[in-house]
Structure 1
Amino acid sequence: MRSGAKVAVVGGVFLVVAGGVGYGAYSMVSEETGGGTEIKSASAPKKTGPPSADEVAQASKDFFAAWSKGEADAAAALTDNAAAAGPALLAYRDEAHISKVKLTPGTAAGATVPFTAEATVTYKGRSKQLSYESELTVVRGLTTGKALVDWEPAVVHPDLKDGETLKTGEASAPPIKAVDRNGAELTKEKYPSLGPVLDTLREKYGEKAGGKPGIELAIEGADSAVPARTLLTLTKGKPGKLPTTLDAGIQTAAEKAVKQYGEASVAAVKPSTGEILAVANNRTDGYNAAVLGKQAPGSTMKIVTAAMLLEKGLAGADRKAECPKTAMYQGRTFHNLDNFDIPSGTFTTSFARSCNTAFIKLIDDTKDDAALPKTAREVFGLGLDWQTGIVTADGSVREATGGEAAAQYIGQGTVQMNALNMASVTATAKAGTFHQPVIVPRSLDDRQLATVSRSLSPTAHSQLVGMMRQTASWGTAAKAMASVGGDKGAKTGSAEVAGQGKSNSWFTGFSNDVAAAASVESGGHGGDAAGPLVASVLRAG
């Protein structure tokens, strides 16, 4: 046993002695729920039902005692998954170099016991105190009926997830002092949404920025491409100065905006250059959905669809367009929100009021189911490999046929986007040409940026921008954009998700040389939830 415990066979059973304390006669059996092992008494009757308060107190007390002594195997044996708990607890002691552990339980809430951990992290003569709060839950082992700690990595540390481990040593990358486009420092503390971004930038550009690594306690994952997350810094090292394209003022507005809704994301870019100005999220899982998300964007996709129809001459901003309550394409029926119709109107009217059927009825005229994916890729740069400086999902409009191709016209089906993708789409519509989004200057590493084969035709460009201006003036985006000044345009969207009672809210818009997009899961209409987020960001620009 790696903890130094001795195992002896007495009378045909195992006697486990750890630190001079005999744990009694037990046999090792498989725990069905966790894939590990639990200790089963040879004579005690099997208990059933939830653990009692006394069992919860005793099980947690025994676990805390073994853990605090550094007896990884003994502590793991008191869980329902010793195979997983053992390595994690051993790494806590030997890889993270955490000692002098004091675990103080709080008041139990049923079978859940909160606790405070206080310890010392020591590495090569450097020491620092570590303290944090976590919790554990006691469950009944299905095989033996014993009260056991329900093993989760978060028991060791609340930020630890499956496949991750704690490690103390020289940092994998030097620290950075990231600054915005005007030289203002960007930190996780001031801009929480930038945490994942700054971690990635540090890992990728720390050495290029001229920094020197320090010593730290960090969470490392099995995937080396995912940057480590620092928990405690023993020695700071020397930070290198890293310039970014972000704007501290716009980032502040974005951070504040997403707090209005749960599961919200927003991104902003500069149309004339493609520079990323802000990225913010408010999600329970901490996922950077603003740049990594992959969801249907609803009617915001009509910006791309309209561009394709305008370039092909199949629609014109001032030409009449049919907008019935429903429309069918190859056996699939599409309808407008609340089944509205526009008895007589132009293509601009259908765009501004987000009429689905007006777009569906024009599909046959394209005579090419791949027309939309081609425009998305060739003009808007979607699906290309964006070298932004961080990892991003760069949009996807796959080739499809029949009803699936029709669904793509209105941003449903297999179309996958995130806030950064749609902010870029709006930036392209405003500028007339695609500029690949970037978050750090290309000069840092001379990376190859994605380029498109052509710009929007001048005629299509002027009509598209005009239609977006009308949408912001009197269409579905008017209410949200009312407080935004300058030359402005927008498009709303709501994306239906199977099994989800309320649509996802999408909104994208521009004001002068700032374009922004936002999504709010289960937010409903685009102008209701995502719209105010985008407006806040645009006002800051």
Structure 2
Amino acid sequence: MTGKARRTVAAALTLAAAVPMLSACFEEPSAHEAVRDFLVGWQTGDYAAAARRTDGDQKAVRQALEDAKVHLDAASFRFKLKGIRSAGEQTEADFAAEVDLGENNPLWEYAGKLPLHLVDGRWKVHWSPSVIHPQLREGQRFAVDVKPQGRQPILDRNNDPLQQEATLYVANVIPSLLKDEVAVCRQLSKITGFPQDRLLSRIRSAIPNVQVPLVTFGRAKYAQLRAQLEAIPGLQMTPESLPVAPDSPAQIVGAVTAVTPETEQQLGGPQRAGDTVGRSGLQKAYQEYLTGSTETSVIILDVKTSKTVAELRKWRPGRSTSSVRTTLDRPMQKAADSALLGGSPAMLVAVQASTGNVLAVASTKEYHQERHALAGKFHAGSLFSIMSVEGLLKAQVSLKQKLACPVDRTVGGAQFHQAAPPAGSTLSLQGNFASGCVTALASLARKIDGAELAASAARFGIGAQWSLPLKTFSGRMRPLTNDAATAKAIAGQNVSVSPLSMALVAGAVASGTWHPPVLVIEPKTPDPSADAEPAKTPDAIRIDDKTISALKTLMRAGVTSGSARLAAAPGDPVSGITASATQGRKPLAWFVGWQEDVAVAVLAESTDSTAGAAIAGRFFRGLHAGL
């Protein structure tokens, strides 16, 4: 059932409850019964019953009442009797009218009057068009004038648009030129699936000599239906350019489609042709802002000339269309996209270390930017050893302490394997951290309390309840009940994270403070009707200075002497570490690190543990080169 149908049924139910009240309020002999019968008949669509209570030509009255509903494209009329007054030989009833104009428009309320007199001993409504509305005269009709606002763009942080113009095709008619409006709507309904009655009422409620949009088509759909559409007499196809083709990151920005019969129902009521609907990403999340509202006027037209005689009511948009300003940065996005070209399936998320603002989200075709880069759940590998540093420092463990890196090691019954141990002598903790030796790092589990490791992870945002307009995943760690579980956490085997959550971890080390992610600057919430403040996001968390100092040393060593050497780039030094993990049967190569105020997480599908670092290096070099 459409929104309009629901409103009509509701109106009928309201009426059923109101009739006894009207009957009970007045008794014969008086004009009450005539007023009641007329208003009840009009409200329920029983125009014959209403006409019998007038002194006019019954056929003409029935048609006039029906035309009023059609010309307003009204979902319902509802009336409330205000009183009946008599002065000398004149009797008049006052009523309040409430008209639901449908199309998600506001209610139109106005005051009306019913002149009454006795005809052969019976009270009758003295008929004229002013009975319908005080300003309506013979030779005039209602119409609804609609002026929709165009779709607004999604912008990057520098107010550059993140989409390009695309051509949509709108099927229009000029009502006064149609020879058979019913046939036009029947054919168009058969082709598109839009209800015939909705198309027809849209035509009949419009200004007759003005172009009326009926259905919008995308390029592919229009090409498919073009021959059938051109065969409909009186139908005109008009190309329109709208900012709907997403630029990179396309899956974050989101796709836009023309309104279809299916999306019409999903949105809870009829939408005007020419409207566009966000199908995914930010376009979907901020649909109500990007399309805004429609300016609607109820007017009276001269039937012969179609000129406006009077404007009875105008509703300006309570909320104008609004662009959506994001934290994304087009130059950084370009560098991220370029860094992924020609390599393994991979993803890259870049954030501003000092704020948590998301700057770029890139992925190859094998991964989805929202579902995987922002909301994916992947094993962290030895990256999670970052969370262990605070506990190690509390346990008085020195970064220079020597730790063996064997091929295999068992900790608390849990087995760990290092595929390619570093050659040479036993490395220090710093060296094992820089090279990502799982067996060495797992051996530290006995020195760290599981509760402290969990608390440290929380300080780096793992499991935080942040609020973003798109799906995201902040990470999850299983309970650490023994040394084996703690060792697995340090090795990232019982921990799930997303590239976004690890980019924020890198940003926390770079800036000394963990910040929750931010993707949209304005508007503050995707819901334009929300009066409350946006959903509460976690506060920034300051990390202990001693921990940050140690982590910066360890992660700088990852690039200068560890397995993250390929991340090196011109400009300020790059810091970061790599890690290997598996997801099912897929080998994964991580890199997390930063240069200046840009922190990144890269996840590549590769057996080469340095693959993520290589992508990060290309990204940082691209930024330096101004890509």
TM-score range, shorter chain: 0.5 to 0.7
Partner of 2:58: none
Partner of 2:432: 350
Q: Mark the structure with the bigger radius of gyration.
A: 2
Q: Give the direction of change, closer, same or farther, for the CA distance of 1:213–1:325 in structure 2 (3 Å limit).
A: farther
1:365 to 430, 447, 453: 447
**How far 1:125 sits from its partner (Å)?**
2.6
Partner of 2:389: 306
Contact 1:351/1:471 (8 A) holds in 2: yes
Identical residues among aligned pairs (%): 26
Contact 1:506/1:525 (8 A) holds in 2: no
Query: In the alignment, does 2:409 pair up with 1:327?
Result: yes
CA displacement, residues 218-276 of structure 1 (integer Å, 9 cap, x when unaligned): xxxxxxxxxxxxxxxxxxxx963221111110011112223334532110001111111
Q: Give the direction of change, closer, same or farther, for the CA distance of 1:453–1:423 in structure 2 (3 Å limit).
A: closer
1:511 to 595, 610, 614: 595
Q: 3-state DSSP class of the match of 1:468?
A: helix
* Length-normalised TM-score, structure 1: 0.57
Partner of 2:571: 485
1:362 maps to amino acid: L
Task: Measure the CA separation in 2 of the matches of 1:307 and 1:91.
Answer: 68
Partner of 2:465: 385
**How far 1:357 sits from its partner (Å)?**
2.1
1:259 maps to amino acid: L
2:220 to 113, 128, 131: 131
**How far 1:320 sits from its partner (Å)?**
3.5
1:431 maps to amino acid: S
For residues 529-540 of structure 1, the aligned pairs below 5 Å read 530-539=612-621, 540=623
1:427 maps to amino acid: G
Task: Measure the CA separation in 2 of the matches of 1:313 and 1:190.
Answer: 46
Partner of 2:506: 426
1:491 maps to amino acid: I
Task: Measure the CA separation in 1 of the matches of 2:347 and 2:377.
Answer: 12
Task: Measure the CA separation in 2 of the matches of 1:504 and 1:91.
Answer: 51
For residues 398-409 of structure 1, the aligned pairs below 5 Å read 398-402=478-482, 403-409=484-490
Task: Measure the CA separation in 1 of the matches of 2:410 and 2:578.
Answer: 23
**How far 1:519 sits from its partner (Å)?**
0.9
Q: Give the direction of change, closer, same or farther, for the CA distance of 1:328–1:440 in structure 2 (3 Å limit).
A: same
Contact 1:493/1:506 (8 A) holds in 2: yes
Q: Name structure 2 gaps, 5 residues minimum.
A: 1-188, 197-211, 224-240, 256-277, 296-319, 526-532
Task: Measure the CA separation in 2 of the matches of 1:364 and 1:341.
Answer: 26
CA displacement, residues 478-503 of structure 1 (integer Å, 9 cap, x when unaligned): 1x123343132011011023434xx2
Q: Give the direction of change, closer, same or farther, for the CA distance of 1:92–1:464 in structure 2 (3 Å limit).
A: farther
Contact 1:316/1:463 (8 A) holds in 2: no
Partner of 1:109: none
Task: Measure the CA separation in 2 of the matches of 1:385 and 1:442.
Answer: 21
Task: Measure the CA separation in 2 of the matches of 1:254 and 1:355.
Answer: 28
Task: Measure the CA separation in 2 of the matches of 1:453 and 1:277.
Answer: 18
Query: In the alignment, does 2:341 pair up with 1:270?
Result: no
Q: Name structure 1 gaps, 5 residues minimum.
A: 1-89, 98-122, 135-174, 178-185, 215-237
Task: Measure the CA separation in 2 of the matches of 1:484 and 1:300.
Answer: 24
Q: 3-state DSSP class of the match of 1:533?
A: helix
2:325 to 243, 267, 289: 243
CA displacement, residues 373-403 of structure 1 (integer Å, 9 cap, x when unaligned): 22111x1011111113322111112213443
Deviates more, 1:280-289 or 1:432-441: 280-289
Q: Give the direction of change, closer, same or farther, for the CA distance of 1:133–1:293 in structure 2 (3 Å limit).
A: farther
* Higher relative helix content: 2
Q: Give the direction of change, closer, same or farther, for the CA distance of 1:319–1:340 in structure 2 (3 Å limit).
A: closer
Contact 2:402/2:429 (8 A) holds in 1: yes
**How far 1:340 sits from its partner (Å)?**
4.3
Contact 1:427/1:434 (8 A) holds in 2: yes
Partner of 1:476: 563
Partner of 1:456: 543
Deviates more, 1:386-395 or 1:312-321: 312-321
Partner of 1:47: none
Task: Measure the CA separation in 1 of the matches of 2:601 and 2:563.
Answer: 15
Q: 3-state DSSP class of the match of 1:268?
A: strand
* Length-normalised TM-score, structure 2: 0.50
Q: Give the direction of change, closer, same or farther, for the CA distance of 1:510–1:357 in structure 2 (3 Å limit).
A: same
2:593 maps to amino acid: G
Task: Measure the CA separation in 2 of the matches of 1:337 and 1:306.
Answer: 23
- Aligned CA RMSD, in angstroms, stands at 3.7
Contact 2:512/2:548 (8 A) holds in 1: yes
Partner of 1:192: 250
Q: 3-state DSSP class of the match of 2:398?
A: coil
Task: Measure the CA separation in 2 of the matches of 1:442 and 1:206.
Answer: 14
Contact 1:388/1:438 (8 A) holds in 2: yes
Partner of 1:444: 524
Q: 3-state DSSP class of the match of 1:517?
A: strand
CA displacement, residues 104-138 of structure 1 (integer Å, 9 cap, x when unaligned): xxxxxxxxxxxxxxxxxxx953454753699xxxx
Contact 1:294/1:417 (8 A) holds in 2: yes
Contact 2:421/2:437 (8 A) holds in 1: no
**How far 1:475 sits from its partner (Å)?**
0.9
Q: 3-state DSSP class of the match of 1:300?
A: helix
For residues 220-231 of structure 1, the aligned pairs below 5 Å read none
Q: Give the direction of change, closer, same or farther, for the CA distance of 1:94–1:133 in structure 2 (3 Å limit).
A: closer
2:354 maps to amino acid: S
Q: Give the direction of change, closer, same or farther, for the CA distance of 1:251–1:96 in structure 2 (3 Å limit).
A: farther
Q: Give the direction of change, closer, same or farther, for the CA distance of 1:205–1:194 in structure 2 (3 Å limit).
A: closer
Partner of 2:455: 374
1:297 maps to amino acid: A
1:258 to 332, 337, 340: 340
Q: Give the direction of change, closer, same or farther, for the CA distance of 1:438–1:355 in structure 2 (3 Å limit).
A: same
Task: Measure the CA separation in 2 of the matches of 1:346 and 1:91.
Answer: 75
**How far 1:453 sits from its partner (Å)?**
8.5
Contact 1:436/1:449 (8 A) holds in 2: no
Q: Give the direction of change, closer, same or farther, for the CA distance of 1:327–1:245 in structure 2 (3 Å limit).
A: same
Q: Give the direction of change, closer, same or farther, for the CA distance of 1:307–1:526 in structure 2 (3 Å limit).
A: farther
Contact 2:248/2:333 (8 A) holds in 1: no
Query: In the alignment, does 2:378 pair up with 1:295?
Result: yes
Contact 1:319/1:346 (8 A) holds in 2: yes
Q: Give the direction of change, closer, same or farther, for the CA distance of 1:496–1:404 in structure 2 (3 Å limit).
A: farther
**How far 1:452 sits from its partner (Å)?**
5.7
Q: Give the direction of change, closer, same or farther, for the CA distance of 1:317–1:127 in structure 2 (3 Å limit).
A: closer
What is the aligned length? 351
Q: 3-state DSSP class of the match of 2:355?
A: coil
Task: Measure the CA separation in 2 of the matches of 1:443 and 1:268.
Answer: 22
Query: In the alignment, does 2:193 pair up with 1:94?
Result: yes
Q: 3-state DSSP class of the match of 1:254?
A: helix
Task: Measure the CA separation in 2 of the matches of 1:348 and 1:195.
Answer: 41
1:318 to 378, 400, 412: 400
**How far 1:292 sits from its partner (Å)?**
1.2
Query: In the alignment, does 2:285 pair up with 1:204?
Result: yes
2:597 maps to amino acid: D
Task: Measure the CA separation in 2 of the matches of 1:506 and 1:303.
Answer: 13
Partner of 2:95: none
Task: Measure the CA separation in 1 of the matches of 2:389 and 2:195.
Answer: 56
**How far 1:469 sits from its partner (Å)?**
0.7
Contact 1:434/1:455 (8 A) holds in 2: yes
